[in-house]
């Protein structure tokens, strides 16, 4: 195996396991057991890839949250394919990443216009996850430099089962689902009874066709309050990172 320190495309390959499940909250155990065959197939497929992102301990990072605490679900597509960017949460990037991906920059523009929140100085959305916002991509790995390269390899079945699991909880538990773009909106048949907010994707190719002005953050908070739950604090404070100057691609 190539030394991971010499090839960023292979930094995510482990000799013993393809992705690390040790950080997954035990509340997800039954949902993951239902797709064990798919997960095993994915491990075999990914083990034969020349490299993958994110790192093994970040592939299932979204599942570190207690599923009983999830109150908002935001569905993404697949991880950023640039080495060093993806960190296991949909739309989120590692704190040092500059410039921000354009989709995330557009999310921040809508956040500012919707709630008047100042544009964050980093792209790490962990503070949302800490409040029960499940940032889940449909596909949880990608070949470096090749967006969409791990689609239709089994991840869709895994993440659909995770979403079914969340939706099937006690109806008294609050849940708002935010679906950006056609790929995410294909999940609508699984979301019977959930409060759903849909719009165009924040990608620069579609943001002006319905994402900007959709007010997903204030609408999600209003739906949570209506369900008897506290709103999410969508502001993102400073994080410890080495690059204080923010540059965005708008």
Q: Structural domain boundaries of the chain?
A: 8-226
32-58 pLDDT, tens digit per residue, is 999 999 999 999 999 999 999 999 999
164-219 pLDDT, tens digit per residue, is 999 999 988 999 999 999 989 999 999 988 999 999 999 999 999 999 999 999 99
Residue positions annotated with a catalytic role:
78
Predicted local distance difference test score (pLDDT) of residue 243: 40
SS3 108: helix
SS3 85: coil
Strand order in the sheet with 72-76: 133-137, 72-76, 176-180, 195-199
In this prediction the pTM is: 0.88
Burial per residue of 192-203, b for 16 or more beta-carbon CB atoms within 10 angstroms, e otherwise: eebbbbbbbbbb
SS3 164: helix
> Could you tell me the two tokens for 8?
């960023």
Say if domain 8-226 classifies as CATH 3.40.50.150.
no
């Amino acid at each position: 195996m190539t030394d991971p320190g010499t090839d960023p495309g292979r930094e995510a390959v482990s000799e013993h396991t393809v992705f690390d499940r040790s950080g997954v909250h035990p509340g997800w155990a039954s949902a993951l057991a239902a797709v064990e065959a798919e997960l095993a197939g994915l491990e075999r497929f990914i083990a034969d890839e020349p490299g993958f992102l994110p790192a093994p301990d970040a592939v299932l990072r979204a599942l570190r949250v207690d599923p009983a605490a999830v109150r908002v679900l935001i569905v993404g597509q697949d991880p950023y394919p640039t080495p060093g960017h993806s960190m296991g949460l949909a739309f989120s990037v590692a704190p040092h990443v500059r410039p921000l991906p354009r989709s995330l920059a557009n999310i921040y523009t809508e956040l500012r216009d919707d709630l008047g929140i100042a544009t964050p100085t980093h792209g790490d959305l962990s503070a949302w996850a800490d409040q029960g916002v499940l940032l889940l991509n449909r596909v949880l790995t990608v070949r470096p430099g090749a967006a969409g390269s791990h689609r239709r390899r089994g991840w869709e079945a895994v993440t659909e089962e995770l979403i079914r699991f969340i939706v099937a909880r006690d109806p008294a538990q609050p849940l708002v689902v935010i679906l950006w773009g056609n790929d995410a909106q294909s999940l609508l048949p699984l979301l019977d009874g959930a409060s759903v907010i849909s719009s165009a994707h924040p990608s620069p190719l579609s943001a002006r066709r319905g994402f900007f002005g959709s007010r997903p953050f204030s609408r999600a908070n209003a739906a949570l309050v209506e369900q008897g739950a506290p709103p999410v604090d969508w502001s993102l404070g400073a994080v410890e990172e080495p690059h204080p100057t923010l540059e965005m691609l708008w």
